[in-house]
Structure 1
Amino acid sequence: MGIPGNLIADFYLHAGSLAPNSYQSTIKALSFVERLPRVQKIANIGCGTGLQTVILYEATHQPITAIDFIPEYIQSVEHELKRQNLDRYIHPVLASPDNLPFMNEEYDIIWSEYQASKIGFNYALNEWNKFIKKDGYIVICAYCWLTDNPPTAIIDFWRKNENEIAPVTSRIEQLRKTGFLPVSYFVMPDECWWNHYCPLEDGFESFLKKYPDDPFAQQLIQNIDKEIDLYEKFGKHYGYAFFIGRKTDC
């Protein structure tokens, strides 16, 4: 029996970090979108706690639909948007990433920093393509192998991990095969991983105090601690990368 989803959601909600990230990386990825002033509508799929969603709005000043399938995340985003007086511009929606309430060719950009490696990179590209206008963009993150022969320990970890991983070249080829012209990609720097891991580590103690006798809570913390340890030892073999593609099919 696995760790209950509500327990995982509670931990990451309060930790506030769902994947490697940085303000600079989000802005860098956005810089590859040509004719950005003409963009009128953006969807952020897997918005989590809304950090990147707010960055996107502040950089584009265009309406954003923020999608997540976890109710607690959507509630958190709604609260934060009201606090910042941004609720007129960013619209949180509770929906599954594989059953989106969008119309065909509705969006200029579909952005996803957290979701693709969970539901499958290739699946996400195929499923979301139809919602993007011709010559619109997909900006999407995924875990990638950076070396040809990673150690067995890290291969075993990723086989058991809920996120998929593949070589960068494979990701680029998947973009092409699903109707996107690969515009650019870049691997996030090491600091992005610590932007992710440090808040998680900071949340260990309070989480265990909240669930003092819960073996699943203890297992979750142990799993994350092991993940951090493996990154310290083997991080040069894998990374988290942005991929930017422009839709070329009709």
Structure 2
Amino acid sequence: MSTLLEQAFRAAHEDLPREAPGSEETTALLLQLVGPLPEVPRIIDIGSGTGPATLPLAAATGGEVVAVDAHEPYLQRLQARAAISGLGERVRTLVASMDDLPLPDGEADLVWAEGTAYIMGFDAALASWRRLLAPGGALVLTEAEWTTTDPSAGAREFWDAGYPAMRTTAGNVAAAQQAGYTVRAAYLLPDSDWDAYYRPLAARLELLRAEGIDPDVLDEVGREIRIREEFGAQYGYTGYVLRPR
């Protein structure tokens, strides 16, 4: 990514309520599908961003959440939001890369990662994050997937550029089982979860356009929205609830 494009991308995403498809309703559903947790569960939210899942998890479980992200400004915003919501004492932030987490083994009853596992790759995330789980713990993540076995050339071109290892749900279920997990649930996120991500992004791009940012650069930042409009029936995000065997 060029410096100019990277700057525009960061400017477009800096004030978004979330950095990937999702919703509080989906977070709540996936949490319900996890099943029983300790009375005060220890939770690690990997790639937390500004906390669209962190705060609902802390509120719903009464647990303590470590929010991990490599971009410190996101965590600063999360800390401010946690303080305003009265959850500041139950949310701790950690600036770290998701593929090199400075956390001890068995640290969590629940490891959570919405819209971030693709950065490492599904298989690498399953292998790397398993050590964080205490006995009886659960891993919840959402993953970009093909919803067809024969995606069109346009959809394939876009995703091959950023995530060539993307698979179907069947492929990821098999991979999770092969990695030693029991798949308790797999839930395809609804279109409304994509709207919750893309509508604020589109509005932000229009604001930057009005501020005089190069429209060609902004068009490139917003290309994913156009791809979704054209090819959205061919791919989606699936939420997984996994427990190690």
Q: TM-score, normalising length from structure 1?
A: 0.91
Q: 1:39 to 1:168 in 2, by over 3 A?
A: farther
- Tell me the residue number matched to 1:97: 98
Q: 1:242 & 1:78 partners in 2: Cα distance?
A: 26
Question: Secondary structure of 1:244's match?
Answer: strand
128 and 5 in structure 1: CA distance in 2 versus 1, 3 angstrom threshold: farther
TM-aligned CA deviation for residue 5 of structure 1 = 4.3
In the TM superposition, 1:200-215 aligns within 5 A as: 200-210=201-211, 212=212, 215=214
Letter in 2 for 1:69: A
- Cα shift at 1:21: 0.8
Q: For 1:10-61, what per-residue CA distance to the aligned partner results, in whole angstroms no more than 9, with x for missing partners?
A: 3212123211111111111111112135452000000011111111111111
Asked whether the equivalents of residues 19 and 196 of structure 1 are also in contact (C-alpha less than 8 Å), the reply is yes
Label 1:38 to 1:174 Cα distance change in 2 as closer, same or farther (>3 A).
farther
Q: How many equivalent residue pairs?
A: 244
**In structure 2, C-alpha distance between the alignment counterparts of 1:168 and 1:83, rounded to whole Å:** 38
- Aligned equivalent of 2:70: 69
* Distance in 2 of aligned mates of 1:164 and 1:83: 40
* Partner residue, 1:79: 80
| 1:85 Cα offset (Å) | 2.5
Which residue of 1 is the match for residue 2 of structure 2? 2
TM-fit CA distance, 1:83: 2.1
- Per-residue deviation, 1:224: 3.9
Identity of aligned residues (%): 26
Aligned-pair CA distance for 1:232:
1.6
* Deviation (angstroms), 1:209: 4.5
> How far apart, CA to CA, are the structure 1 residues paired with 2:230 and 2:8?
28
Residue aligned with 2:148, SS: coil
Is contact 1:42–1:109 with CA below 8 Å preserved after alignment? yes
What is the Cα deviation at residue 197 of structure 1?
A: 0.5
Residues 35-44 or 189-198, more deviating = 35-44
> Quick check: 2:40–2:63 contact (8 Å CA) kept in 1?
yes
The superposition leaves residues 82-139 of structure 1 with CA deviations (integer Å, 9 ceiling, x where unpaired) of 2223210011111110111211111111000021011111111111111111221000
Distance 1:150 1:97 in 2: 30
Instruction: Note the residue ranges of structure 1 that are not aligned, 5 or more in a row.
Output: none
Q: CA RMSD in A?
A: 1.9
Q: Distance in 2 between matches of 1:70 and 1:2?
A: 19
Report the CA distance shift for 1:98/1:35 in structure 2 as closer, same or farther (over 3 A). same
